[in-house]
Amino acid sequence: MSLLRSKYYDHPDGEDAFGKIVATNKYAVSAGLAWSMFDVLTLSKPQGYLPTLGRFAYNTGPLMGMATAFTLTTLAATNARGKDDKINYLIGGFAAGGVFGAWKHNHVAGLCAGLFLGIAGVIKKMSIEQGWEFFPDTPLKQYGGVNIAENDWTIMADRPKNWTTEKKEEKA
């Protein structure tokens, strides 16, 4: 299995720390790059390459740290407690909130973020244990494309298969 294709729940909690770190950091990097692009283009507007790279590092690095802190703390709590339950995710959420508070130089923001992320982690763990999804995958209708002949783009239903353009009348 490719390293970049690893998912968080490929292995049970408490195992495969590196694979779980890669799985969580994929989302952190993508969110960090998206937010950094927004920040650079609309908010901070740095002049030059180095200040722009600095903004990308300033935004993406702490998000990766939060993802890594959550993953490693959850892994350590699972192994130390010997239980695979929701409390480990709550502890991991508070660890990620601590990284957020250090990033923003605000311990109250870190505590609030830890509480929010801990509750989000507990809800995610509950969804895994109980077999439901908070954001279920819905099939999206794709419009347009190269081969549009396969799709019906009209408002009306298809014509009946026995439809003809004119009726032929028989003469006696």
Q: What is the reported pTM?
A: 0.76
- Mean pLDDT over 58-62 rounds to 97
pLDDT tens digits along 113-141: 999 999 999 999 999 999 988 777 766 66
Provide the token pair at 94. Answer: 């508070």
Greater model confidence, 143 or 24:
24
Q: How many residues comprise the chain?
A: 172
Pick 114 or 145 by higher pLDDT: 114
Buried b (16+ CB within 10 A) or exposed e, 61-79: ebbbbbbbbbbbbbbbbbe
Mean pLDDT for all residues in the chain: 87
